[in-house]
Structure formats: structure tokens, C-alpha cells
Amino acid sequence: MPQPTLPAHLPATLPRERLRALLQAAPKAELHIHIEGSLEPELIFQLAQRNGVALAHPSVDALRAAYAFTDLQSFLDIYYAGASVLLQEADFFDMAWAYFLRAQADNVVHAELFFDPQTHTERGVDIGVVIAGLHRACQQAQAQLGISASLILCFLRHLDEASAIATLNAAMPYRDQFIGVGLDSSERGHPPEKFARVFAQAKAAGLRLVAHAGEEGPPAYIESALDVLQVERIDHGVRCTDSPALVQRLAASRMPLTVCPLSNVKLCVHPTMADHNLPALLAAGLCAMVNSDDPAYFGGYLNTNLLATFDALPQLGVAEAWALLHNSFTASFATKAQQAAWVAQLDAAFAAA
């Protein structure tokens, strides 16, 4: 199935500065955001003080200086340390609300937030506290900011499947407050099939299914996520280009890939942004879109990712900008009517550019 085509009535080319302005002003959806990864150092220190948590770094600047990662695991070590300040419902609300304010500034109209309950329950925080704080922020984002938002519960793949099953069971009393499940954390050595039973259980419960695959892991992990876990979206997926047959399969099915460019560079998946394979993904007809992943750690929220991508990859133009934003809506778990309304807003923004 081909990439959606820029409608004929929209401008096919724009001066670079006008394209940059359009990228910032256009409505967009974010489908790959770890809410714990939006926890900025300033808020970490505020919550640490509020909750009496001792931190390993003496200051905001010292903590931010530690954000020099060599791979996914070196990031996760810092990430889990930062999450240690999250103890009360108000902490989870404050973290999510801070993200929504930044999302509003980036003209995000829909966000599907990943959260990692095991990161907190293993520290003795009740899963109901986690979900309640995040859900309240989602409700307030809709009411006060006009941002449609929902939650996706992610399992930590470095833990065993029994822990994932226990987490899903513990979350089911709050089933009306999250829409799906995902799979994140350390990819190497933890193939998707490790979690076959818990994903089957989640599917039987009517939950939507996504999984990280093909970031540091091989194309085979993407195939396992599709065939064994039966996911509806692949998070990252950039390693698919190592397998031409897989690229063809993903293009034919229009399987969404929630690509995170700054994250890929920060974690050394690609050496520089100029080396990123996003143009190749789009040229192959893949349903790719840009997301921020863990923006507090990787250098920027959604608009920063878009601008950095287009600045480094001049072959990307108006048609690619429209396709990326269009894909972000159609790959969402919103209703078809909501998707259509957002696409209409997107077209109006491009028509006015």
C-alpha cells in the first residue's frame, strides 16, 4: 500500500523557514512518549525534596550532565534513578501535566502515553496510585488544553513474564483508565516471544497492543512482535531496513512505526541525525511518524525532534512533513471520526502555509 499522497490543493514546496514554521504550528499526534522519560531534572529535584528522597547527583546541572549515554542500558540506569522520586498520586499527576503543557506548546492535539508501572510497584508504590495520577492529568489535559490523551501500560522486558502477568492482573480493576499494553526497556536478549502469554491475555481483555522492536534488536524482533504478540504498532522499528523482505511486509500492511529520531542519535542507533534512515522508511512506503520517546533525556520534545530531523535531512520536504503528521493521526488508537477531524485540521494548516 503506498504512502498517503499530499493532496493536490496543498502547496508542494515551501521555503525552508516557512516549512519549519509549518512543522511547529501544524496539529500533530504523539504516539511514542514514555511519561517517566518526560521527567525533567528540575521536577526531579522538586519531587525529591517533597518526598524526602536522596539523589545521587547534587544539583540539576550535575544530573543533566550525566545524560551522556552510550546505549540504551546506560540511559535506563539514569532513567530508573530519576523515577525513584515518584511516590504519590500527585507526583504522577505533576509529571504528566508538565508534559501536557509542553505538548500544547508543540500543537500536539492527541497523545498516547506509555507508563511503566513495574518501575514503581517494585518500589512499593501501588499501581492504583500510578494510574490515578496519570489518568487525572489526561482528563485535565482534555478539559483545559483540548488535548485528547490516553494511557498505554508497558511491561519491562528485562523482567520475567510472570511479573508482567501479575502487573496486568493488578491493573485490571483500572481497565477503563488505560487503552492498551506495550513492551519496553532493554531490548537486547529479551525477544518479544518471551511475553507471548501476557499479550494474549491483554488481547483477550480487549486492550490495544504495541511493542518496542528493532531499535537495538534485530529485524527478527519486529517479526516476532507481529507474529507472536500480534501488535498493531511497532515502536521504533528502524532496524527493519536490515531486511528488505520485512520492509516490503511493513509497507504492504501499513504497519505503523513510531520513530524517535533524537533518541536514536542519543542512544547511538544512528551516528548522527544526517545518518538517520527516516527518508528511506518514507520512500519505501512505510507508515512512519516522528515522536520524542524520552524527551527530558534525549534533547527535545516533539517539535524539537521534527525540526532537528528536517534540518539535518534536507531531502525531506513538504510532502514528507505532511505524510509524517498524517501518519501520526491515522496510526493512533482514536476513532476514525477523530482521526478524520484532525487530518482536516492538518490540511487546513498546510493550505494556509
- Distances in whole angstroms, Cα of residue 250 to Cα of each of 233, 264, 288: 10, 20, 10
293 is in an annotated binding site: yes
Secondary structure, 3-state, 78-110: HHHHHHCCCCCHHHHHHHHHHHHHHHHHCCEEE
Sheet arrangement for strand 208-213:
28-34, 108-115, 148-156, 180-184, 208-213, 233-236, 256-259, 287-290
Are the C-beta atoms of 208 and 333 separated by less than 8 Å?
yes
Q: How far is CA 185 from CA 71, 118, 134, 156, 259, in A?
A: 12, 11, 20, 5, 16
Residue 111 main-chain phi, psi, to 5 deg? -140, 135
Surface-to-core class of residue 72, CB atoms within 10 Å of its CB (0-12 exposed, 13-18 middle, 19+ buried): buried
Is 276 annotated to bind a ligand? Reply is no
- Is 32 annotated in a binding site? The answer is yes
Amino acid at 293: D
Is 184 annotated to bind a ligand? Reply is: no
**Residues 213, 233: Cα–Cα separation, whole Å:** 10
Confirm whether residue 294 is marked as ligand binding. yes
Task: Please say if 215 is a catalytic residue.
Answer: yes
DSSP 57: S
SS3 26: coil
Which of 215, 216, 223, 320 is catalytic? The answer is 215
The C-alpha atoms of residue 293 and residue 39 are separated, in whole angstroms, by 12
Could you tell me if 299 and 107 are in contact, meaning their C-beta atoms sit under 8 angstroms apart? no
Which residues carry a binding-site annotation for Zn(2+)? Answer: 32, 34, 212, 293
Which residues carry a binding-site annotation for substrate? Answer: 294
Which residues carry a binding-site annotation? Answer: 32, 34, 212, 293-294
The residues annotated with a catalytic role in the active site are 215
